[in-house]
Structure 1
Amino acid sequence: MGFYQNIQSMLREHHNGGGKSYSRLVPNMRAAEFLTTFCMQELSAEKFISNLDLSGNLNLSENCAKDLEILSNGTKTFFDNVISTRQFGKRDIDTKLIIPVIDACGKLSPGILRGRSRFIGSFEECMAIDYYDAQALRRIRGGYFRVLLQIPIANSTTNFMWDVCLPASCTGKELHTALADGSLPLVGKYIAEVIDGFEKIPKYVTASYIVGVILLLTIAICIVAGIVDYYNTNVKKQQPKGLGYTILMNFSLYKNCKYVIALTPAKKGQISTLNCIRAVSMIWIITGHTFSISMAAFGQNREVQERVVSVLLYNFTHHILMVPVKIRTSKHPHWK
């Protein structure tokens, strides 16, 4: 029996309650991470779609069951035709349904052992699928779903997110049942949830309109206050007095922008370059956090967490530069 056949046999035994140790097969290796990597190899769009077993009682709606059957049978015949004729794309169902569905599903990418746990698909490509089956007289549209996997290993749980493109006529609960019951024999029982509704546009409620009106009103006041402030400062050259005018000027874009970008001369004993260091440090922090948020969706989490970064550059540089200033201004006899 080959190496991977051995692994598969052991995993089946574990799935059926055998519970054999993986460390004896892969010595001196993090067996838990190897198990996770091997199980993730099962998450292939063409594999699980071809393995869909709709013969049992899956409590699927009629529309969902018919669309999944068309997709599954079409995928099987698609790969059979490719193997036998070495040609593909001749059928209408291949170019308009099978190939776009497989291409839109998330693919396993490298770095699983380094913390990569999200496999994102192509939302736009999936939502653009609109295939009409003339034989079944059915129109199949693409639906974007996210499969949440929770694989227990030792005393912890490893979470994975895998995006798939399947018929929009199905719900997340229906797909949860279909995927967990035979389509993914190794990791099917670890599916915690299948999330749907990504294609739906959130409905605006009363609170949304209230917040929108407040924001638009605030922006309008800032623009009007800025125009009035600029006119009184540079044209009329006379600032009116009064509580209402003072409150209005607090919203002035012209006044506040001048205060924000204004640099006062450095006082005696101060280091003027600290202002530049402060600005660079703030830009660095804001840019770094913005980049890290976007990286969380598809990055290698462990590699990002273990990377050496400096967030407190300003504090470190500030204290280094302030040492000679402190020595110069100190009255201590040994520092004169």
Structure 2
Amino acid sequence: MCVVCFACFLIGCGSQPEISKGVTSQLTQNGVIIGHFSKDGEWTVTLDGNADIQIHDNADQSIVFKVPKDKVKTPVKALLLSDDKSMLIIAGENLISIWSVPKQKLVTNVPFAGVSPLASISSLALSHDNKRLLVAMDDGSVNMADLFTKINNRFMPHSRPIEHLAFHENAEYFVTGAQDGLVAMWQFASPEPVYQHQFNHRVTSLTVSPDGKHLFVSDGLNAQHVLDFESGKLISELKYMARFKMFRKAKFISNSGLLATSSSKSHLSIWRYDSGEELGTWSIRTANEGATVVDMYVPNSNTLVTLNSDGMLETWAVNLLAEK
């Protein structure tokens, strides 16, 4: 196979159906450093290149809320919008700021620490009922905070920064993934793992399916696993011809058997996760070289929406792959 043909095979040139429906919105011209869709996909919260934190209405690109810069503790390490869109949580190095979105007011600042005195916040997760907050640190520790009782339990399950956190739907269990390659499931307020898997390289991507049944985990080289969330049992591994692939973001597409992943570059791939079969890889629309997908939203089993680091929303018709 010639080099050009082989490259096209790998990234979906020509041989794959064109599933992109194009860029539907340009949320910002200043680039996106951190960006997340709301659970219902109606809003997007971003930290842009001007250090502005804004909540955008995706329908008309209007600004729902812009956080006053003089109220933000820099550097910003993480952003989190609650599922009901009532709370915006901003993490600095050691301080969590909780904002009321409807009132556009700062509710409270709460300090968090790691086991190491120099540890800073690396990632956040909020339970679906807004009652439990996970604050992970770059020393490998996790704060498990109950926002109503104000009780915080801290333990140190990892030896390197924790970059991935995800709650189960019932908020009783959660998973962590870190640069030490360890992925584990925990019961809230307990330091004993329900199960754990040790990968050879740092965890670069972790996501839970909408029904809470599956967990996708990727390390930094060539291990990409779909696991049963409750048991940790291996269901499948992603298969591809390249020696390795970097997976930056991932999203299960509801009721379709499909998984979307993004690379460290401008590529989006779609897989059948029960078999690990790759259906194709496509290039995202970008304004600048090196732009990447920073978040994904699935409105239905036929559609995927991506947010890239150029601030663009692009829509994908994944139903075109149904017969593939």
TM-score range, shorter chain: under 0.3
Normalising to structure 1: TM-score of the pair?
0.22
Normalising to structure 2: TM-score of the pair?
0.23
Q: Relative to total residues, which structure has the larger helix share, 1 or 2?
A: 1
Q: Relative to total residues, which structure has the larger strand share, 1 or 2?
A: 2
Q: Whose Rg is larger?
A: 1
